[in-house]
Amino acid sequence: MTTTNQRLRAASRLERWQRDYAARLFATDLVVIVVAVFGSQFLRFGENAAGQRIAEQSISYTLVSLVLVSVWMVALDLFATRDHTIIGAGSTEYRRLVDATIRVFGVLAIVAFLAQSQIGRGYVLIALPGGLLLLLASRWCWRQWLVRRRATGRYSRRVLLVGERAKALHVAEQMGRAPTGGFRIVGAVTDHGSVEHDLVEGIPVLGGFPQVLEALDESDADTVIYAGSDLVHPDQLRELGWDLEERQVGLVMAPALVDVAGPRIHATPVAGLPLIHVDYPRFIGRKYVTKRVFDIVVSSLALLLLGPVFLVIALVVRRDSPGPAFFSQERVGLNGSTFRMLKFRSMVDDAEGQLPGLLDKSDGNDVLFKLRADPRVTRIGAVLRRYSLDELPQLVNVLRGEMSLVGPRPPLPREVERYGRAAERRLLVRPGITGLWQVSGRSDLSWSDSLRLDLYYVENWSLTGDVIVLMRTVRAVAGSRGAY
């Protein structure tokens, strides 16, 4: 009875925080949508907003706003934007928000057309982008709130890891890179079940496969992640699923695939087997045309708005040390083509000539040269690097099609010479001004971690993900100690 009560408490604890967080999102979504819709009505019609009616019809805009709020909230629920499996990490939550919002206003446009209703365009043009931006901002704020609590072990699943030791170790190491993903591994069950040695530091081995249920009770876990084992027969795994169902413990299967995002994975049941289809990444087509259009629009607007900033930085660089304001360097881009990457000069004019004498002092990783106290960096250059202002001229490279706003950083030819097969895949897309590893650790990541993040981006790119990386870049630049 004690064991049953313990299991029920674990399940209740999991459901309770999931319901609590979903309720917080629901309340915030409702407030945001009401503010966006009725705020749009007020901005469009002013003091007479409450009594305003659609031209030549008896329908008031207040009724339209109430219906729009209701439909919008229903759409967010139908698109599962508050599902506990997508919150806290990844871009799926934001993508579903965008999809639901666009569908709502698409339906609104169709209904208005069929009813020959003259709904004010200003009303719609304020409510749609305003509501979407507020929704994305509110979800981002809640995600930061959730991440902070997950860092302390709250609002997370308590996980028992089951599988062969090597496979379980691989899963533990991969999940250890994302401590805020919502899975907290509290124990492991392995093939040999040796309890003398932890799987990794902080994850004790609680026994072998026959002791899975006892290990569940000991660890108070509410979820089992199965990493795979040749010693476990499919019938045994099925029976384990039944046992977990009785105890209301979740079961998650961890395939050997790594760095493959959800949209590329499709499950198809065949003869009782859940076969997983994995789509190969494609580097042409409408998706990449959209990316290029996004790059052109954003870089053009940024260059227009930042013109005065460019002028000030150029003057300051010239006054700080002898030499030109701009610096160009040969880099390797899409499919191995070379181009001249632009930067504001942050070093002395003969920095390239001094490089050979500094190579053995690198603080960087195995491939990338980095030096924390680089004597070639000028006084103003250090400030520009701290806030990545020296990278701004690369907006010109983006406009010319040599780079993208988001992507792997453009490597030097001497770095490409040391690339293996995996690293060469970085060249399948345009290099970017910023990217995943720049917002995940900037100059402090190892080469393997930098490569892993770049490959994940190359094979799982999405426009929503690009927008998220750009937002995280602002925070990384403002909140860290900066690049060097």
pTM for the predicted model, two decimal places:
0.69
Looking at residue 438, the DSSP 8-state letter turns out to be T
C-alpha to C-alpha distances, 427 to 332, 392, 401, nearest whole angstrom: 8, 22, 14
Q: Return the residue matching tokens 């087509």.
A: 285
Q: Return the residue matching tokens 């001004």.
A: 433
Indicate if the alpha-carbon torsion angle 403, 405, 407, 413 is positive or negative.
positive
Residue 120: what pLDDT?
67
Residue 23: what pLDDT?
92
Fold for 157-256, please state it. Rossmann fold (3.40.50)
Joined together, the tokens standing for residue 222 give 């509410």
The ranges assigned to domains in the chain are 2-150, 157-256, 286-479
Joined together, the tokens standing for residue 180 give 């805020």
Q: Return the residue matching tokens 């190491």.
A: 173
Residue 224: what pLDDT?
92
**437: three-class secondary structure by DSSP:** coil
Residue 33: what pLDDT?
93
**342: three-class secondary structure by DSSP:** strand
**188: three-class secondary structure by DSSP:** strand
Q: Which residues of the chain, if any, have pLDDT below 50?
A: 1, 484
When computed from its CA atoms, the radius of gyration of the chain, rounded to whole angstroms, is 27
What's the distance, CA 161 to chain centroid? 25
CA distance 376 to 484: 11
| Residue partners of 198: CB distance under 8 A and separation at least 6 | 204, 205
A 10 A CB-CB count for 377 gives 18
Residue 341: what pLDDT?
95
Task: Tell me the backbone φ, ψ of residue 442, rounded to 5 degrees.
Answer: 50, -120
Joined together, the tokens standing for residue 158 give 């308590």
Looking at residue 226, the DSSP 8-state letter turns out to be E
Instruction: Find, among 107, 116, 129, 111, the residue nearest to 37 by Cα.
Output: 129
